[in-house]
């Protein structure tokens, strides 16, 4: 299925403007989501533009991993070339009396609204905003090198940069992180695609070749429901791995069918 859809989600658990920022960040981390906005956290809704046919469970899982609940209320296709009926910029949310204010979370800086300039200084591709806690957890170098700025994740396969500062003045490469990064080695069979439960493309393929099916998605969902997922600090991309896992399962299924 091609094209894009406008999707409206009901989101449970937002209690402040900081929550709205976290929800936008979680949704925009999902592969296939082009942009997301929470106009008013009190309304308990998020609106996004995404690839047509995007699986609802992938969105729900991303919200669950971020500490929120959600479900699709409505979705409809967008005409090719048409602009969305809503602003792609998240309105600035009042942070006073916020449960997510910087004072309560000193290691996290709210995601900047303006994203057009957030380009990787090496490959020029747009990065995804990432929590500074993820950057600190993943780096293998001294954390004295981490500046009090926002960082982004570069998922371009042929680019050595993993994290870069929003001002483009600093970058950390694959040689400076603790884990090998799935997006940087998409054909690496022994590179984790699920960092919390330690699944790799090779392990997924081995199960498929042995049993003719894959249980990895059910296993990951079970772990999420049990509260065992920690993608925010264990996954280099700083967000739920389920979209990546689904993509690997699909690749294994298709390659096995052709064999």
Q: Give 19-73 as a DSSP string.
A: HHHHHHHHHHTSTTEEEEE-S-GGGTEEEEEEETT--HHHHHHHHHHTT-EEEEE
- Rounded mean pLDDT of 54-61? 87
- For the chain, the average pLDDT equals 83
The model carries a pTM of: 0.58
Tell me what percent of the residues of the chain surpass a pLDDT of 70. Answer: 84
Contacts of 208 (CB under 8 A, 6+ apart): 214, 249, 252, 253, 256
Q: What is the pLDDT of residues 200-253, one digit of tens each?
A: 999 999 999 999 999 999 999 999 889 999 988 999 999 888 889 999 999 999
- The HSE-up count of residue 83 (CA atoms within 13 Å, CB side) is 4
Q: What is the pLDDT of residues 156-203, one digit of tens each?
A: 999 999 999 988 889 999 999 999 999 999 999 999 999 999 999 999
Partners of 151 in beta bridges = 130, 165
- Rounded mean pLDDT of 39-44? 85
Nearest to 117 by CA among 166, 190, 55, 68: 166
Q: For residues 89 and 113, is the Cβ–Cβ distance under 8 A?
A: yes
Q: What is the pLDDT of residues 132-146, one digit of tens each?
A: 999 999 999 999 999
Q: For residues 37 and 88, is the Cβ–Cβ distance under 8 A?
A: yes
Q: Give the best-scoring range by mean pLDDT among 28-37, 86-95, 187-196.
A: 187-196
Give the pLDDT of residue 160: 95
């Amino acid at each position: 299925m091609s094209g894009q859809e406008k999707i409206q989600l009901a989101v449970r658990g937002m209690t402040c403007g900081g929550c709205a920022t976290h929800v936008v960040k979680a949704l925009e981390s999902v592969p296939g989501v082009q942009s997301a906005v929470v106009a008013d956290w009190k309304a308990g809704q998020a609106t996004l533009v995404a690839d047509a046919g995007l699986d609802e469970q992938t969105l729900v899982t991303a919200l669950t991993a971020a500490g929120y609940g959600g479900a699709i209320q409505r979705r409809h296709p967008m005409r090719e070339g048409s602009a969305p009926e809503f602003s792609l910029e998240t309105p600035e949310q009042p942070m006073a009396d916020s449960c997510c204010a910087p004072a309560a979370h000193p290691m996290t800086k709210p995601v900047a609204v303006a994203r057009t300039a957030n380009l990787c200084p090496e490959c020029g591709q747009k990065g995804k905003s990432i929590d500074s806690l993820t950057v600190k957890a993943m780096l293998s170098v001294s954390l004295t090198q981490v500046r009090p700025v926002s960082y982004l994740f570069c998922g371009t396969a042929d680019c050595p940069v993993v994290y870069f500062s929003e001002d483009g003045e600093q970058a950390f490469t694959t040689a400076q992180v603790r884990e090998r990064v799935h997006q940087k080695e998409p054909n690496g069979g022994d590179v984790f695609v699920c960092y919390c439960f330690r699944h790799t493309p090779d392990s997924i393929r081995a199960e498929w070749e042995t049993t003719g099916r894959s249980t990895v998605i059910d296993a990951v969902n079970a772990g999420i429901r049990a509260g065992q997922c920690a993608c925010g600090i264990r996954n280099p991309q700083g967000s739920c791995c389920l979209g990546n896992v689904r993509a690997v399962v699909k690749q294994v299924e298709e390659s096995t069918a052709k064999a």
